[in-house]
Amino acid sequence: MAAAAQVHLQHNRDHATRNNRFPEHALLRGGIARCGYCGDALYANNRHSTDGVVRTTYRCTSRHETVPDCRAHGMEAHLLDAAAWAKFRELLTKPGMLRQEIDRMRASEAPGADVLASIDKLVKDLGAQIARKRRLFELTDDEKTQNELAAEINQLGALRRKHEAERVNAEVHYADWQQQLDGLQVTLDTCERVGQRLDAMNYDERRQALFAYKAVVRLWRVDHQPHRADLLVRLPLSGELLLELSTLAGCSEEATWSCHHKRAALRSQTGPPGDRAAGCS
């Protein structure tokens, strides 16, 4: 499983916590949670409430002029995380589907194999032409002929370098297939290890599974129809699956961080409430 381990390491590098002091407060950070209006990644904002509790809220800070409905809406992270994971774990309770996808991928030719083979043939043919020109160059003493051959060799060399660069770019582009295959295999191994105790998966394992499925959670404001949030997963051969996060339908528009601070100011004047406010906006 060396390839899968390498993918896991790369996953950790790509989604490093950096200066995030509370990374595990936001399962969907790093591009999983996105604005349903403009498509930008939601920002995980950590703030200390007046009672000292760290509150993490997903917010869209883009406010796109070209997307007028995008108005810095958001939701407390623990609510969106819980709803998304509850829906996603339903997929993981059926490991047979995941195993079938992996088997089909392994039996299929990776996309781009024909493109890479075509580029390899071009590079090989150009190498053979360059070698022939060089032999001719060495066999002739005519200066004019040598100059012509040298120019042709330089042109062929430049063309070969161009195709070699194209191959590198194509290889990076098509490597996503193998990376997703390895990520799905890691997820399947984890599911088989924990069995039906999927909530026993730790934070890193849950994020690995979400990334392996290319999961995207889209969030709209509370007045959006037909639903407030959904989960989109993408598998290479099975395609896309869209799942509504129906448990968030009744969340109020209150408790954005701006609203939270307004309530905090109100509490300072009227006294503390009996309980903590809910959290979506």
* Tens digit of each residue's pLDDT (9 = 90 or more) over 13-33: 445 445 556 678 899 999 999
pLDDT at 177: 85
pLDDT at 138: 93
Q: Are 125 and 170 part of one and the same domain? A: yes
Residue 206 placed within a domain: no
**Cα–Cα distance for residue pair 93/88, rounded to 1 Å:** 9
Residue 75 placed within a domain: yes
Q: Are 12 and 55 part of one and the same domain? A: yes
pLDDT at 234: 93
Residue 208 placed within a domain: no
pLDDT at 252: 52
Q: Are 104 and 178 part of one and the same domain? A: yes
Q: Are 79 and 14 part of one and the same domain? A: yes
pTM for the model: 0.66
Q: pLDDT tens across 216-227, in order?
A: 999 998 888 888
Percentage of the chain surpassing pLDDT 70?
80
Q: Are 78 and 126 part of one and the same domain? A: no
pLDDT at 197: 92
pLDDT at 281: 52
Q: Are 130 and 174 part of one and the same domain? A: yes
Last residue of a domain, one of 131, 163, 195: 195
Residue 243 placed within a domain: yes
Write out the residue range of the structural domain in which residue 143 sits.
Answer: 96-195
pLDDT at 259: 40
List Cβ neighbours of 70 (8 Å cut-off, separation of 6 or more): 35, 37, 38, 60, 62, 63, 64
Q: pLDDT tens across 151-181, in order?
A: 999 999 999 999 999 888 888 777 788 889 9
Last residue of a domain, one of 137, 166, 195: 195
pLDDT at 261: 38
In SS3 terms, 165-176 reads as HHHHHHHHHHHH
Which two structure tokens, joined as six digits, stand for 97?
A: 């589907």
Residue 222 placed within a domain: yes
Residue 280 placed within a domain: no
Residue 128 placed within a domain: yes
**What are the residue ranges in the chain where pLDDT is below 70?**
1-22, 249-281
Q: Are 79 and 107 part of one and the same domain? A: no
Helix (H) / strand (E) containing 76: strand 74-76
Cβ contact 256:59 at 8 Å: yes
Q: Are 87 and 220 part of one and the same domain? A: yes
Domain count within the chain: 2
Residue 201 placed within a domain: no
**Cα–Cα distance for residue pair 75/24, rounded to 1 Å:** 16
Burial class (CB in 10 A: 0-12, 13-18, 19+), 117: exposed
Q: Are 101 and 158 part of one and the same domain? A: yes
Q: Are 189 and 128 part of one and the same domain? A: yes
pLDDT at 278: 43
